[in-house]
Structure 1
Amino acid sequence: MLSLLHLDGSARPGCSGEVPHGSHTRRLGARFVARWQQRRPGDRIVYRDLALTPPTHVDGRWIHAAFTPPAQRTPWMIERLSESDALIDELLGSPLVVMGVPMYNFGMPAPVKAWIDNIVRVGRTFGFDRARTGAPYWPMLADQGRRAVLLGARGDHDYDPGGRNAGDNLVEQGVMTPLRYMGITDVDRVAVEYDEFADARLAASIARAEAAVDALVDRLADQADARETAAAAMPA
C-alpha cells in the first residue's frame, strides 16, 4: 500500500466548475486523487488543507528549538516543534505528495510557504555538519523514490519554461528548490492559465490541465503497480 499526501493551498473554497469562483488547483487536486483511488483503491490518502488550517509561521523560538540538539531540548522546545514534527511525519510517510499551489502575486500562498518552512528542518529532512568535507549540508530524503506533483493556477499565461513570463514564475521554483534541498528531485507540474481572462482560452487551459492530470495519474499508477509486482516476485 502506498500513501499519498494531498495538500491544498488555495484560499478559494471549493473547486472551480462546482462553486462560483472556486479554485482551479483544488479542482485539479481532487481530480488527481479521485482518479488515483480508482486506479489504486487500497492506497492511503492523507489530506491537509493548508489554507483552512495554516501552519504556524516560523519564529525565533522555533529557530532556537530546531537548532538545539534533540537531547538538550527543554519541554517548551519540544512543544514548539510538535507541529513541525507532525507535518514532517506526514511527508516522510508519503512517498507521493500532491500539492495544489496557485500563483499569488507571482509567488506561492503564505500557508504553503509556512508548510515549507516547517518541514525543511535540520536533523530531520536535511543534515548539517560544519566539519563535513565539501558542503556542510546534505539532503536526508534523497534516493528514497519520493515524488511531488505541483498543481498550479495562474491569472495570466506563458509562465512555463520558455514562455514570456517564465522568469516571473516564482511559485514552482520556490517550491521545487526546498524540495530538492531535502532530496525530492522528481517533480511533475500541471497548471491552469488564463484565469483572469475568463474566456475560451481559460476553458481550453482547464481541459488541457485535466487531460494532463489524467495522463500523469495513469503513468505514476502504472509505475507503482510495476514496482509492487517486481517486489512481490523477489525471493523472500
Structure 2
Amino acid sequence: MTILHIDSSILGGYSVSRSLSAAIVARQQALHPASKVVYRDLVVDAAFHLSDQHMAVFQGGPVTTPALGADLAAGSAYIDDLFAADVIVIGAPMYNFSIPSQLKAWIDRVCVAGRTFQYGANGPEGLLPKGKKVFIASSRGGVYTGGSPAAVLEHHETYLLGVLGFIGLTDVTVVRAEGLNLGEDVKAAAISKAKAEIDAIAA
C-alpha cells in the first residue's frame, strides 16, 4: 500500500494543516503497517507556475532550458505519484479564501488532458483508477460552515473537491479545523475536534 502525503502550508512547524496531515498519515500507517509513504512538500520543492514555455512544450515545442526540463519531469512525477498511491493525504490551509498558490501549481501540473482526464461523449471523464482514498487536512482562520455568512467566500474545500472529482478522485474525506484566528480556546477546540476525527478513521 502506498500513501501519498502532500503539504502546502508556508508556516512550517507552526502549521495546523501540516500537523493534521501528519496525524492522518500516522493513522493510516497504524491501520496499514506495511504501507510506504511518498512525501511531497510543495513549499520546499515547489513546481513552477504554468507559463508560456510550458504551454509551448505541451503543444510539441522544444524544451528551451534545463530548468524547464527538470520542472516538466517533476510535473510528470506528480502524476505518477497519483496513479501509484492508494491513499492521498493533502494538507491544505486556506489563504485568502482559497488554496495556497503552491498547491494550485501542483493541481495545474496533474490536471492534464489525456493523462488524468479526457473529454468523452458525455463530457469530461477522470482517468485515475477508482478505489483511491483521499483525505484533505483543511485549516482555516475563520468559520465558513454551519450557515456562516462567510460561506459565500469559501473557494477552498469546494474547489479541491471539484478538481479532485474532475480527475476521478471522488472518495474524499475532509478533516477540518476552522476558526483558528478566533482566539486560543476556539483554536484548541477546533484542533482537538479534528484530531478526534482522525483517531476515529477506520480504514
User: TM-score, length-normalised on structure 1?
Assistant: 0.78
4+ runs deviating over 3 angstroms: 73-78, 161-164
- How far is the alpha carbon of 1:194 from its aligned partner? 2.0
Structure 2 residue aligned with 1:111: 102
Paired residue for 2:192, among 191, 195, 207? 207
- Mind listing any 5+ residue stretches in structure 1 that lack a counterpart? 15-21, 221-236
Paired residue for 1:37, among 29, 41, 56? 29
- How far is the alpha carbon of 1:74 from its aligned partner? 4.7
Amino acid at match of 2:97: F
- How far is the alpha carbon of 1:148 from its aligned partner? 1.4
* 1:189-208 superposed Cα distances (whole Å, 9 cap, x missing partner): 11112221232121111110
Structure 1 residue aligned with 2:183: 198
Aligned residues: 200
User: Structure 2 matches for 1:47-86, cutoff 5 A?
Assistant: 47-68=39-60, 74=62, 79=69, 81-86=72-77
- Mind listing any 5+ residue stretches in structure 2 that lack a counterpart? none
User: TM-score, length-normalised on structure 2?
Assistant: 0.90
Structure 2 residue aligned with 1:154: 140
More strand by share: 2
Q: Do residues 139 (structure 1) and 126 (structure 2) align?
A: yes
For the Cα contact (< 8 Å) 1:65–1:81, is it kept in 2? no
For the Cα contact (< 8 Å) 1:155–1:196, is it kept in 2? yes
Paired residue for 1:180, among 155, 165, 176? 165
For the Cα contact (< 8 Å) 1:66–1:81, is it kept in 2? no
CA distance in 2 between partners of 1:215 and 1:195 (Å) = 22
CA distance in 2 between partners of 1:189 and 1:113 (Å) = 18
CA distance in 2 between partners of 1:64 and 1:74 (Å) = 8
The 3-state SS of whatever aligns with 2:12 is coil
CA RMSD of superposed structures (Å): 2.0
The share of aligned pairs that are identical, in percent, is 32
